[in-house]
Amino acid sequence: MHRTADLVSRYMMLTKEVMPKMAREGAANWPVRNDHCFQRIVLDNVCGGPWFDHIARPAYKNLSRDQAMRALRLCESIVEGRENLVKLNNKSLIWRGKPVR
């Protein structure tokens, strides 16, 4: 799974299906439930700021191979409980000038 399209496909599956399902089922005490929120958090943390300052819209069609790989790895770490989604969300909100939850 080294092609950029494969990496993006797996990232999209995790953020659109797996992570929202985990959030709905209460497997994790996460501050978000919707796919676009997971995508915002992951891409902001990959970019070190609001993703739209670094990636053309739509992001999933414009991710570089490196960005796609880093996004996928971050998603996998979140799903496996190795990354704290609350902290990642707070960083994203701060970068965007929004109140931290």
- How do residues 21-73 score in pLDDT, each as one tens digit? 999 998 778 999 999 999 999 999 999 999 999 999 999 999 999 999 999 99
Both tokens of 62, joined, read 């414009």
**pLDDT of amino acid 101:** 77
101: in domain: no
Per-residue model confidence (pLDDT) at position 29: 86
Q: Nearest-CA neighbor of 73 among 64, 83, 63? A: 83
Q: Write down the H helix ranges in the chain.
A: 4-13, 19-24, 35-47, 59-62, 65-79, 85-95
Does any domain span residue 88? yes
Query: Taking a C-beta distance cutoff of 8 angstroms, is the pair 81, 28 a contact?
Result: yes
Asked if residue 35 belongs to a domain, the reply is yes
Tell me if 42 is assigned to some domain. yes
Has residue 19 been placed in a domain?
yes
Confidence bin at 1 (pLDDT 50/70/90) = low
Whether 100 maps to a domain, the answer reads: no
Q: Find the mean pLDDT for residues 83-99.
A: 97
**Predicted TM-score (pTM) above 0.85:** yes
pLDDT score for 33: 95
Return the pLDDT at 80: 96
- List the domain range (segments joined by +) for residue 32: 4-95
Give the H/E segment covering residue 41. helix 35-47
Which token pair is 21? 């399902």
Query: CB–CB of 9/1 below 8 Å?
Result: no
Domain count, the chain: 1
